[in-house]
Copies of this chain bind each other. A is one copy, B any other.
Amino acid sequence: MEKSVTNANGTTKGRDEETEESSKENNRNLALKTPKGARDHGPKAMAIRQRLLNQMIQVFRKHGAETIDTPVFELKQVLAGKYGEDAKLIYDLKDQGGELLALRYDLTVPFARYISMNNISTIKRYHIAKVYRRDNPQIMRGRYREFFQCDFDIAGTFDPMLPDAECIKVVCEILHDVGVGDFKVKLNHRKLLDGIFQACKVPPEMFHTVCSSIDKLDKIPWDAVRQEMIEQKGMKEETIDRIASYVTLHGGLELLNQLWEDEQLTRIPKACEALEDLQLLFQYCKLLQVANNISLDLSLARGLDYYTGIIFEAVLLSNDDNKLSVGSVAGGGRYDNLVGMFNPKRKQHVPCVGVSIGVERLFSIIEARSNDTMRTNETEVFVASAHKGLHLRRLEILNKLWTAGFKAEHSYRLNPKLLDQLQHCEELQIPYAIILGDDELARGIVKLREISSRQELEVSLDTLIEELHRRLYAS
């Protein structure tokens, strides 16, 4: 039922061949598919998703977050200039007269727009909604063009690293509660990266493009990144080697101490600010008992334009033979200037820090290992007929059950076979069936069948509600 029909054909330039074909065929028959990179979720997938999202919401609630909602589309100009090179992946709406609109690319920019528009100075909110990227699902395996994001952000002017540490705590709690095994939160700081580039004598105007190259290190090896920096970005080998000596470093507090002793670095004020932030963050994380989960990783760059301070990314560690490699499952950081971009005249300054949980990846891990016995509905009682002509009595009893608050169903056929009805109960794991028959009804009773044990007993119609209540809720 949850068959996802994703186009296997992968070009994003020009119209896909597959679509050309299907549009030729269109006169004969409709192309019966979801759009490329989008998919339906059937009842089983939805049951898994809802359980997972509820676990996340519980954590957000535990940390005092409220929730907000924003439209699926924004004015094009709201999204403009926020995503660097990724802007080409934004879905535009057709100009049908009126405003120029685009589908949201993430939940962060709409959040910043919301804060600015409503003149909010402090808010801690979560937002779970779909975002849209005209990515190439062929290249990025397991990634879709329409996918859920699940964001938690803290906006407001506060003392350093207190909200940042809580975001990391939230990530750790979620990954723990969801139960996806060991994980690590890689940390870095945009100002530390800038400091490193400055220490390595990268010209300031190149910081941005070097950052983009470094960001690819989790997908391609150092040699390829090095090659790109030499050939495409025209950097000196000497500079690159200096950068390499930093971005290959990762570790805990000891690495931080090592960096504090690096005079090349500590004479750059920006780098010192970053090191101070990181030191504080390590201290707070220790108190919040997540210090063992964090690791400073100088190769972490995170591509988005808007980050200004701490950046982090949670990755799963494959400590078993599980072949499913999922990589990053959450990412975030501090973006202190995004809100201000929406109204430069007003000089509104609302620093923010937040995290986006990679729910789609978590879904697919949990989906892959979920067994088929998961229920997709919650029906507690099925009202069955033992023979023909009982549908009016069924409706009467059903109504009694619904009125009493039970989750109850029956067959929409006038004269269903008893075997079919019981089989349905077994397939859907409905715990109880009430079986109606003329003989029993004449005596004012019905049969109550426990589906799992197949045991039946006679229950008076007068005490049926109590009996079910006792069996279903009292334990």
Binding site for B on A (CB under 8 A): 1, 3, 5, 12-16, 19, 26, 29-36, 38-43, 45-47, 49-50, 61-75, 77-78, 91-99, 101, 103, 113-114, 116-118, 120, 123-125, 130, 132, 134, 146, 154, 156, 158-159, 162-163, 165-166, 169, 173, 283-284, 287-289, 342-345, 376-379, 391-392, 395-396, 398-399, 402-403, 405-409, 412-414
A402 contacts which of B31, B75, B173 (Cβ < 8 Å)? B173
Q: Are B125 and A43 in contact, CB atoms less than 8 angstroms apart? A: yes
Q: Are B97 and A29 in contact, CB atoms less than 8 angstroms apart? A: no
Q: Which residues of B contact A407 (CB under 8 A)?
A: 61-64
Task: Give the distance in Å from the alpha carbon of A62 to the alpha carbon of B407 in the complex.
Answer: 4
Q: Are A94 and B97 in contact, CB atoms less than 8 angstroms apart? A: no
Q: Are A32 and B342 in contact, CB atoms less than 8 angstroms apart? A: yes
Task: Give the distance in Å from the alpha carbon of A38 to the alpha carbon of B130 in the complex.
Answer: 16
Q: Which residues of B contact A91 (CB under 8 A)?
A: 93-94, 96
Q: Are B19 and A409 in contact, CB atoms less than 8 angstroms apart? A: no
Q: Are B377 and A61 in contact, CB atoms less than 8 angstroms apart? A: yes
> In angstroms, how far is the closest chain B Cβ from the Cβ of A245?
35
Task: Give the distance in Å from the alpha carbon of A284 to the alpha carbon of B398 in the complex.
Answer: 12
Q: Which residues of B contact A14 (CB under 8 A)?
A: 97
Q: Are A377 and B65 in contact, CB atoms less than 8 angstroms apart? A: yes
Task: Give the distance in Å from the alpha carbon of A345 to the alpha carbon of B287 in the complex.
Answer: 66
Q: Are A16 and B99 in contact, CB atoms less than 8 angstroms apart? A: yes
Q: Are B41 and A68 in contact, CB atoms less than 8 angstroms apart? A: yes
Q: Are A287 and B159 in contact, CB atoms less than 8 angstroms apart? A: no
Given A40-B69, A158-B412, A162-B414; 5 other pairs, CB 8 A cutoff? A30-B77, A40-B70, A72-B132, A98-B134, A283-B392
